[in-house]
């Protein structure tokens, strides 16, 4: 599940392989970019912004992508003396973009968002985002202010809204609610002071701890089957109390999202609905 830590790590890999090198061949496999050719331009920088990737290209252009639920960028070294764009990345119908330099080729796979824009217009796709948990703009006080501006909103939805803070996805939202011993459906404004600030500090700490590792961990257990406390553990015993972990839904009826929780450690507030009305913003 790509979240802020995955995107940060992806950006570092792409930057290390491609930045500072001229693109020898490009192949965009989405209709509106099918005729675009960036060969000859230098890839200047790859920057993560929350769950977005910005690949800046010589000439004031930016390739903007979002990994969504299943997207990925993969990099491989080219055969000696070649800049081939063929093979090595899985089913070709899943590839949305290929960018090659003399030494490496990067493939964008199953990308739900892929577009080319002017670098000066990046604000149009990431300007709405809140402070980035892994970015230089991280500001706990500002993130807390945004998180609490709609006090009746369920905690899980407030955490997932990228306008509040950028980088949290389903995994961390569920794990943070568990760490706070708070129901995902508790109104965010009901959290006692200073829990919101502590929750944001925990979010920052978890993403920083996981950004260099492919295996995500939110618990202190050394066991490989206990990396996560509740996410993906439906019907398995809670590590704290042994109660089976359950799932519920939230968000708009046309686009519900699943959340994992322990009904004993995180009892729902009285009268709480498992379906919230607010949409999520990437």
Query: Which residues are identified as catalytic?
Result: 2-3, 51, 257
The rounded radius of gyration (Å) of the Cα atoms in the chain is 20
H/E stretch holding 156: helix 155-160
Look at strands 257-261 and 52-57 and give their pairing: unpaired
Please give the Cα distance from 90 to 65 (Å, whole number).
Answer: 19
Q: Pull the structure tokens for residue 244.
A: 């089976």
User: Which residues have CB under 8 Å from 66's CB, separation 6+?
Assistant: 51, 52, 53, 111, 112, 113, 282
Nearest Cα to 3, choosing from 54, 68, 73, 94? 68
On the CB side of 81, how many CA atoms lie within 13 Å of its CA?
0
Distance (Å, whole) CA 270 – CA 159: 21
Work out the number of other CB atoms within 10 angstroms of the CB of residue 100: 22
């Amino acid at each position: 599940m790509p979240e802020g830590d995955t995107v940060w790590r992806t950006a570092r890999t792409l930057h290390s392989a491609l930045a500072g090198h001229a693109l020898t061949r490009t192949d965009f496999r989405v209709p509106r970019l099918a005729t675009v050719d960036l060969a000859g331009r230098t890839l200047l920088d790859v920057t993560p912004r929350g769950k977005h990737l910005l690949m800046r290209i010589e000439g004031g252009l930016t390739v903007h992508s979002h990994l969504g639920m299943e997207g990925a960028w993969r990099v491989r070294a080219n055969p000696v003396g070649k800049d081939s764009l063929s093979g090595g990345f899985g089913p070709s119908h899943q590839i949305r973009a290929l960018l090659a330099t003399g030494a490496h080729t990067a493939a964008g796979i199953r990308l739900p968002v892929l577009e080319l824009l002017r670098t000066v217009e990046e604000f149009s796709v990431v300007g709405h985002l809140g402070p980035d948990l892994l970015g230089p703009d991280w500001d706990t006080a500002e993130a807390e202010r945004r998180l609490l501006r709609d006090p009746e909103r369920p905690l899980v939805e407030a955490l997932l809204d990228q306008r509040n803070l950028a980088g949290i996805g389903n995994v961390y939202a569920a794990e943070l609610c568990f760490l706070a011993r708070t129901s995902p459906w508790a109104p965010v404004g009901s959290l006692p002071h200073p829990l919101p600030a502590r929750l944001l500090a925990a979010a920052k700490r978890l993403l920083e701890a996981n950004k260099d590792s492919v295996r995500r961990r939110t618990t202190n257990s050394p066991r490989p089957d206990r990396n996560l406390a509740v996410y993906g553990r439906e019907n398995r015993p809670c590590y704290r109390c042994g109660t089976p972990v359950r799932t519920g839904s939230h968000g708009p009826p046309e686009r519900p999202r699943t959340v994992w929780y322990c009904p004993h450690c995180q009892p729902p507030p009285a009268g709480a609905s498992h379906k919230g009305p607010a949409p999520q913003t990437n």
